[in-house]
Structure 1
Amino acid sequence: MNQLAQPIPYGFPITLEEARRVASAAMDEAGRQGWPMVIAVTDSGSNLVALYKMDHAQTGSVAIAQHKAASAVRFKRPTRAFEEALAAGGIGLRLLATEGACPLEGGLPLVKDGAVIGGIGVSGMQSTQDALVAAVGASALAS
């Protein structure tokens, strides 16, 4: 008997204290690397809770970081999944018609007690670097 995995539920929204901890950890990592970045943290409804724009970060990254965080929450998955689907072409190109899906790596859902409570989005460098910084931020949620 083949059972489908249960979808991950949405939880109570991330608190401001948790959002600050996540964003600060990401910002500290970006600083250690010397990468000027923008870090956005949204709640489980995709609403902005915290936004850090480091000195010299490109202004275009403000909107992109928020879009990555919101996309990770709305679709309950890392934005890397959309980037890979689009890069694969073929049927993956239908992603272009999916409103709110950001096909740039660097957005992660924030999960606590098995539920999505928010998202983190990082922008400013190559998408793999954005993803590294987002992962450090997300790991601070468990601390």
Structure 2
Amino acid sequence: MTTVESVSLDDARRVIAAGERAAHDAGQPCNIAVVDAGGNLVAHIRMDGAWLGSVDISINKAFTARAFDLSTADLAGNAQPGAQFYGIHASNGGRVMIFAGGLPLRRSGAVVGAVGVSGGSGDQDQAVAEAAADAL
């Protein structure tokens, strides 16, 4: 039998709170989502003023980071025309996001979930996701 460690609701709350602080400090309201080791949503917030269209994007960035165990920014570089994963964004029912803001969450080197952020520029989303992931 294999046991898979996963983020808890308390972990997700801590990750989201750190991301929310970073987004607030940057003056950019965001949507922040955390998924578990199976890619299932654990928690999500939409900060006041954050784009409605970014709700699904943040959740799907978290899903993507967990599905491939790499940052969505790194996946983006390999998903451009002529690159090895060109067209991957159309897989998984269109849930794969190929721009910055999704990061795997690791504990003792193992991926236990992921965070996804959407609402600002790619650089802003990435910075908020990094601050959020650091809270784990």
**TM-score for the superposition, normalised by structure 1:** 0.86
Structure 1 residues 74 and 96 mapped into 2: Cα distance closer, same or farther (>3 Å)? Answer: closer
In structure 1, which of residues 107, 113, 126 is the aligned counterpart of residue 102 of structure 2? Answer: 107
Query: Which consecutive residues of structure 1, in runs of 5 or more, have no partner in the other structure?
Result: 1-9
CA distance in 2, matches of 1:11, 1:34: 37
Q: Does 1:118 align with 2:113?
A: yes
Equivalents in 2 of 1:139, 1:71: separation in Å? Answer: 19
**Residue among 62, 67, 86 paired with 2:79:** 86
Percentage of pairs with the same residue? 40
| Counterpart residue type for residue 21 of structure 1 | R
Q: Would you say 1:13 and 2:6 are equivalent positions?
A: yes
| Mapped partners of 1:11, 1:30: distance in 2 | 31
TM-score by length of 2: 0.90
Q: How far is the alpha carbon of 1:127 from its aligned partner?
A: 1.1
After TM superposition, give the deviation of residue 101 of structure 1 in Å.
Answer: 2.6
Higher radius of gyration, 1 or 2 = 1
Instruction: Give the one of 30, 44, 52 matched to 2:45.
Output: 52
Q: CA RMSD in A?
A: 1.5
2:132 maps to which of 111, 122, 137: 137
Unmatched segments (≥5 aa) in structure 2 = none
Q: Give the deviation of 1:98 after TM superposition.
A: 3.5
Contact 1:85–1:95 (8 Å) recurs in 2: no
Query: In 1, Cα distance between the equivalents of 2:104 and 2:122?
Result: 16
- Counterpart amino acid of residue 62 in structure 1: V
| d(CA) in 2 for partners of 1:114, 1:91 | 28
Deviation (angstroms), 1:96: 4.1
Count of aligned pairs between the two proteins: 131
Cα pair 2:89 2:97 within 8 Å, conserved: no
